[in-house]
Structure 1
Amino acid sequence: MSDNLASQFLLREDVTFLNHGSFGACPRPVFETYQAFQLELEREPVDFLGRRLTDTMREPRHVLAAEVGSGPEDLVGVINATTGLNIVAHSLPLQAGDEILTTDHEYSALEKTWAQVCRRTGAEVKVVKVPLPLEEESQFVDTILAGMTERTRVLFLSHITSPTALLFPLEAVIAEARRRNIWTVIDGAHTPGHIDLDLDALGADFYAGNCHKWMMAPKGSAFLHARPEVQGLLTPLVISHGWTEQSKQPGAKGAFGNSPFIDEIEVQGTRDPAAWLTIPSALAFRRENDWRSVARRCSELAEETLERVVERTGLAPLGSSAFRAPQMVAIPIPPCDAPAIHKTLFEKHRIEIPVFKWQDRHIARLSVQGYNVRGQMDSLIAALDELVGLSDQAASAATA
């Protein structure tokens, strides 16, 4: 992997950045496009926001839709995946006794979202435990199907999980949920730009994804996708000029000529749309730099680093390679004071990487992106060995 790629990013040179998964990192030329849009807005805000915004927002939507396998009328820009998923969670007509079926691998912010929805509606969250290590699709599918009952109204799943970096095989459970008239809501925060997407083929009712992570657009760029048949269920979190009283009538148009789904969610009052407008630039950057090849090398480096740590510790990965996110891996490490290790890695070793306890496991979640090189993985392994005794763990396991 060429060091030249690092020069195309704005990351600090004194920090080994191994945490692309949390907030992403925007390449320099994409960020410059972002700033150019902001400057254009400030030079004539009324023209930009008052006259041209609806038309300007359309190109990124069409370009992104082609990238993720969606019709452009079925996808709308939001500032992050959490916002998109909150729109769905607060719109669905749930009531007391209804169940939201989910797993024990979900993002904590969305766990809180569904908890609040349940407090308001009287519905209940039902959590199933996905067997680990995840080595066969049937382990996941059978667990989800066994959790479905006549009370299940929503199936909420991550596509790529945040704490465990697992890639869930969703197709079969989404199809079965459709057969049972269960709404499927998918958290795709880590997915766009990370794996190939075909949202129409996947068939989820609702899918939210971030563009600021693996697609490398600026922060504030994400989307909500909804099948045409369920778009009428949605109510925006913010009611503004895009809303009309006739929006739920068959064939209705939104206030600005798009579908009500787009106009009601896209128009949120005064805001800076520059991050969303930069999506075509981010996708162009990926093409110009042959990002498929870059991603392949990153995936190989992530897998190699995981294997090197596993060899030292004897701790098994959480799943086989078929069910691990390509560029983001959850590395099991020996029991430790995870917050203290995280702090020391940054303050002493200048390594930025999440370290945390998840259930009864301790994890260092490694992200590998185009600006990373193998020497940084060497530094991580050496630091972890110093702080948590990787080789000591393997020796203990051998004598146990």
Structure 2
Amino acid sequence: MSDFLLDPDVVFLNHGSFGACPRSVFEEYQSWQLKLERQPVQFLQRELPELLADARRQLAQYLGARSHEVVFVPNPTFAANTIARCLSLGTGDEVLISDQEYGACRFAFQFAAQQKGFQVVEQSIPLPVESDEAIVEAFWQGVTKKTKLIFISHITSTTALTLPVAQICRRAREAGILTMIDGAHAPGQVDVNLGEIGADFYTATCHKWMCAPKGSGIFYAREDRQDLVEPLVVGWGWGKDKTFHRENEFVEHHEWLGTHDPSAYLTVPAAIAWHKQHFTAGVRQRSCDLARLAVDLASQIDGVHRVHADRFFRQMGLIDITSLQADPVELKKHLYDAYKIEVPVIRWQNRTLIRVSTHAYTSREDIQTFTFALQEAFNQRK
């Protein structure tokens, strides 16, 4: 826990919502902010283009992409809006999503559909899942001749399910369908190689599992698809009198959104370095094991059930407490007020779920405290 700035009195089992920044990474973040404030004109106009280019090169290498295929954005919601509102979609077209997509990104497509006339088709992936092949087949039932774009998560937010996105992208390409993957929970939790995944577009956060500062996200567009995407925000990188000349038009059009604090973007290389040094394969496996321990121990409580087999989740374990008829808001509040446990209790499709996230700072005692508190909470209701 000493590597992180988290309150030591809180049992923090919700890394999946906003992440947590290691102390050394946060100090790097503050140093960039200080440099910005000491000479804003020098920093923003003369130094920033090359600084961003270097950070982007390191990020692209980490993700198995080329630097001119990746731009920094505030978050995946921004990237989803870019595709939903700027891609050429109209009446008679369909965008296929799963029933487990993150609400803000789903809303972006639904909003754009109302404006542009295309349809958003939501396809169910029944839980529990049995195999990657079964996931693909269940999802593919939603594909029609009108399907122009597939938008699906790499690791789902609500249900913590790892999806076989490379298989889905491969099948979509064979069918002539564009793909966009929401990888908000993937980089830092699983190894990501965008070249191997084969998506046309990919978005992710650096501030979740990569542990970079808040407000650092990525938007990837494969080189041969970049001409399909217009910028969501038109700024100084667009016109003939563009302020900065960078690697290609995709970077120029999408990276400069106007004056903002770029410190979170510039800190991403420090977060990558921290991961390589501290979040080793052994530490990652320990985190996965703790998430699975949470599921195993909680499942021993009457009325609590696991949702996924171990192979379908990593550092976010999911349990189903629907049969206990607990109010999600009240239970979440009780766990925090009585035990200082920060964990999401989620209502999804008439099911009540608890998602337990683990990271390098999580201890076995944290998991035991959680399962004890859950048992006590249900005992009090009897």
TM-score range, shorter chain: over 0.9
Identify the range of structure 1 (92-101 vs 26-35) with the bigger mean alpha-carbon deviation: 92-101
Where 1:168 maps in the other structure, the secondary structure is coil
- 1:17 partner letter: F
Runs of 4+ in 1 over 2 A off after TM superposition: 311-319, 388-392
Answer yes or no: is 1:330 the counterpart of 2:318: yes
Question: What CA deviation, in whole Å up to 9, does each residue of 1:187-206 have, x standing for no partner?
Answer: 10111111001101111010
CA shift, 1:12, in A, is 1.0
2:248 matched to which residue of 1? 259
- 1:103 partner letter: S
Question: What CA deviation, in whole Å up to 9, does each residue of 1:46-90 have, x standing for no partner?
Answer: 000011111010111111111111111111111111111211111
1:368 matched to which residue of 2? 358
Question: Separation in 2 of the partners of 1:258 and 1:173?
Answer: 30
1:239 matched to which residue of 2? 234
Query: What are the within-5 Å matches in structure 2 for residues 72-87 of structure 1?
Result: 72-87=67-82
Query: What are the within-5 Å matches in structure 2 for residues 113-262 of structure 1?
Result: 113-244=108-239, 255-262=244-251
Question: Separation in 2 of the partners of 1:390 and 1:210?
Answer: 39
Question: Separation in 2 of the partners of 1:391 and 1:142?
Answer: 41
Is this contact kept in 2: 1:313–1:390, CA < 8 A?
Answer: no
Question: Separation in 2 of the partners of 1:313 and 1:151?
Answer: 46
Identify the range of structure 1 (75-84 vs 18-27) with the bigger mean alpha-carbon deviation: 75-84
Is this contact kept in 2: 1:295–1:370, CA < 8 A?
Answer: yes
Where 1:311 maps in the other structure, the secondary structure is coil
Where 2:83 maps in the other structure, the secondary structure is helix
Answer yes or no: is 1:298 the counterpart of 2:287: yes
Question: Separation in 2 of the partners of 1:290 and 1:109?
Answer: 29
Where 1:133 maps in the other structure, the secondary structure is coil
- 2:222 partner letter: R
Question: Separation in 2 of the partners of 1:266 and 1:390?
Answer: 53
Question: What CA deviation, in whole Å up to 9, does each residue of 1:13-36 have, x standing for no partner?
Answer: 221111000000000000000000
- 2:371 partner letter: I
CA shift, 1:244, in A, is 2.6
Structure 1 unaligned residues grouped into runs of 5+: 1-5, 247-252, 393-400
Where 1:348 maps in the other structure, the secondary structure is helix
Where 2:246 maps in the other structure, the secondary structure is coil
Question: Separation in 2 of the partners of 1:389 and 1:224?
Answer: 47
Question: Separation in 2 of the partners of 1:245 and 1:181?
Answer: 34
Question: Separation in 1 of the partners of 2:109 and 2:237?
Answer: 26
- 1:332 partner letter: D
Where 2:6 maps in the other structure, the secondary structure is coil
Identify the range of structure 1 (219-228 vs 82-91) with the bigger mean alpha-carbon deviation: 82-91
Answer yes or no: is 1:349 the counterpart of 2:339: yes
Question: What CA deviation, in whole Å up to 9, does each residue of 1:168-213 have, x standing for no partner?
Answer: 0112221121122211011101111110011011110100010000
Question: What CA deviation, in whole Å up to 9, does each residue of 1:125-183 have, x standing for no partner?
Answer: 11111021112112211112221111101111011001100000112221121122211
Answer yes or no: is 1:319 the counterpart of 2:314: no
1:14 matched to which residue of 2? 9
Among candidates 364, 368, 381, match of residue 378 of structure 1: 368
1:309 matched to which residue of 2? 298
Is this contact kept in 2: 1:217–1:282, CA < 8 A?
Answer: yes
Among candidates 54, 63, 78, match of residue 59 of structure 1: 54
* TM-score, length of structure 1 as denominator length: 0.92
Is this contact kept in 2: 1:87–1:236, CA < 8 A?
Answer: yes
Question: Separation in 1 of the partners of 2:327 and 2:378?
Answer: 9
Is this contact kept in 2: 1:134–1:319, CA < 8 A?
Answer: yes
* TM-score, length of structure 2 as denominator length: 0.96
Is this contact kept in 2: 1:78–1:84, CA < 8 A?
Answer: yes
CA shift, 1:274, in A, is 0.5
Question: Separation in 1 of the partners of 2:73 and 2:238?
Answer: 16
Where 2:273 maps in the other structure, the secondary structure is helix
Pairs aligned (count): 380
Where 1:366 maps in the other structure, the secondary structure is strand
> 1:103–1:254: structure 2 CA closer, same or farther, 3 Å change rule?
farther
CA shift, 1:312, in A, is 2.3
Where 2:299 maps in the other structure, the secondary structure is helix
Structure 2 unaligned residues grouped into runs of 5+: none
> 1:379–1:14: structure 2 CA closer, same or farther, 3 Å change rule?
same
Question: What CA deviation, in whole Å up to 9, does each residue of 1:215-258 have, x standing for no partner?
Answer: 00000111011111111111222111001369xxxxxx995132
Where 1:224 maps in the other structure, the secondary structure is strand
- 2:360 partner letter: G
Answer yes or no: is 1:42 the counterpart of 2:37: yes
Identify the range of structure 1 (175-184 vs 315-324) with the bigger mean alpha-carbon deviation: 315-324
Question: Separation in 1 of the partners of 2:271 and 2:248?
Answer: 26
Is this contact kept in 1: 2:76–2:105, CA < 8 A?
Answer: no
